[in-house]
């Protein structure tokens, strides 16, 4: 079960680009990387998922270097509503077990005006 | 299309009481999950069901039982509640294991 390490908290300002890095040194060949966002009193919400290189959708980009031992979630031009906890998960989507379903403590991102 | 629904939203129990948390989904997803989240912590997996008719233990299954009643419903039962089970409980579903998860609104449980 691949373990992840993220910063406990980060601060930024409205309009800035925010990059949150997750370390997963023992990632396995079949593991994917998934990021979720959670607001207070709500369940987490899927943001993005990737295996290697770069993935982009309408809300974020995910950068994964060649060795896949880390990944970076990039949020362009953040707003106050992006204040939330962000979780990085790593696991084998085809394994048939609970791999990839471990949420750590996440990164508490605070956006200021 | 309600997505994932959970009942009740709030519950207060006394130590030793039992209760069942209900989860239902109308997304035609195969896999369902129960998590708990304690203050300031991430989510911890209690039990999951890869498909109708199967259930498996997660990280913290002790003190809980589950039933996958049908494809739509997955219930979590506390047979004898303890203060350590005070938490927020989230149900989630995915089309297949470990794919994008869709979460319910949560049940806030307090055991006194």
Q: What span, in angstroms and rounded, lies between the C-alpha atoms of B69 and A17?
A: 45
Would you call B103 and A43 a contact, using CB atoms and an 8 Å cutoff? yes
Q: Examine the pLDDT at A11 and tell me if it is beyond 80.
A: yes
Mutate to test the interface with B, among A42, A87, A98, A100 (most CBs of B within 10 A): A98
SS (H, E, C) B41-83: CCEEEEEEECCCCCCEECCCCCCCEEEECCCCEEEEEECCCCH
Hey, is the C-beta of A103 within 8 angstroms of any chain B C-beta?
yes
Select from A45, A91, A96 the Cβ nearest to the Cβ of B50.
A96
Q: How confident is the model at residue B98 (pLDDT cuts 50, 70, 90)?
A: low
As given in the structure block, the two tokens for residue B47 are 């039990």
Average pLDDT, chain B: 93
Q: What span, in angstroms and rounded, lies between the C-alpha atoms of A86 and A108?
A: 6
How many CA within 13 A on the CB side of residue B70?
A: 5
Pick the most confident of A27-31, B18-22, B27-31: B18-22
Q: Examine the pLDDT at A96 and tell me if it is beyond 80.
A: no
Sign of the CA dihedral with B84 first, then B86, B87, and B92 last: positive
Q: What is the mean pLDDT of residues A84-94?
A: 86
Q: What span, in angstroms and rounded, lies between the C-alpha atoms of A56 and A63?
A: 9
SS (H, E, C) A26-42: CCCCCEEEEEEEECCCC
Nearest Cα to Cα of residue B31 among B55, B8, B57: B55
pLDDT of B47 = 95
Q: Examine the pLDDT at A1 and tell me if it is beyond 60.
A: no
pLDDT of A105 = 84
Rounded to a whole number of angstroms, the distance between the first and last alpha carbons of chain B is 36
What are the two backbone dihedrals, phi and then psi, of residue A82, each rounded to the nearest 5 degrees?
A: -85, -5
Q: Examine the pLDDT at B16 and tell me if it is beyond 80.
A: yes
Q: Which residues contact B81 (CB under 8 A, 6 or more apart)?
A: B13, B14, B15, B16, B17, B18, B19, B109, B111
Task: Give me the total of CB pairs closer than 8 Å, taking one residue from chain A and one from chain B.
Answer: 63
Residues of chain B with C-beta less than 8 angstroms from the C-beta of A44? 43, 90, 101, 103
Segment A56-79, tens digit of pLDDT: 999 999 999 999 999 999 999 999
Select from A49, A101, A106 the Cβ nearest to the Cβ of B100.
A49
A12 and A18 in contact (C-beta within 8 Å)? yes
pLDDT of A95 = 57
Q: What span, in angstroms and rounded, lies between the C-alpha atoms of A39 and B21?
A: 22
Hey, is the C-beta of A113 within 8 angstroms of any chain B C-beta?
no
| Nearest chain A CA: its distance from B62 CA (Å) | 16
């Amino acid at each position: 079960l691949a373990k992840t390490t993220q910063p406990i908290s980060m601060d930024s300002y409205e309009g800035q680009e925010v990059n949150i890095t997750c370390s997963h040194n023992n990632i396995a060949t079949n593991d994917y990387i998934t990021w979720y966002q959670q607001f207070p009193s709500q369940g987490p919400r899927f943001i993005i998922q990737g295996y290697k290189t770069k993935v982009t959708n309408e809300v974020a980009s995910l950068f994964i270097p060649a060795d896949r031992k880390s990944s970076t979630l990039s949020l362009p031009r953040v707003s106050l509503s992006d204040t939330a906890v962000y979780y990085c998960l790593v696991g084998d989507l085809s394994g048939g077990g609970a791999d990839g379903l471990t949420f750590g403590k996440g990164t508490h991102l605070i956006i200021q005006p | 299309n309600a997505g994932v629904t959970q009942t009740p939203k709030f519950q207060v129990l006394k130590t030793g009481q039992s209760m069942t948390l209900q989860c239902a989904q109308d997304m035609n997803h195969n896999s369902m999950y129960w998590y708990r989240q304690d203050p300031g912590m991430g989510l911890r997996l209690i039990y999951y069901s890869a498909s109708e008719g199967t259930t498996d233990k997660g990280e913290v299954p002790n003190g809980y039982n589950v039933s996958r009643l049908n494809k739509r419903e997955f219930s979590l039962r506390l047979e004898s509640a303890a203060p350590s089970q005070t938490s927020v409980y989230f149900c989630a579903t995915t089309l297949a294991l470990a794919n994008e998860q869709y979460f319910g609104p949560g049940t806030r449980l307090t055991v006194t």
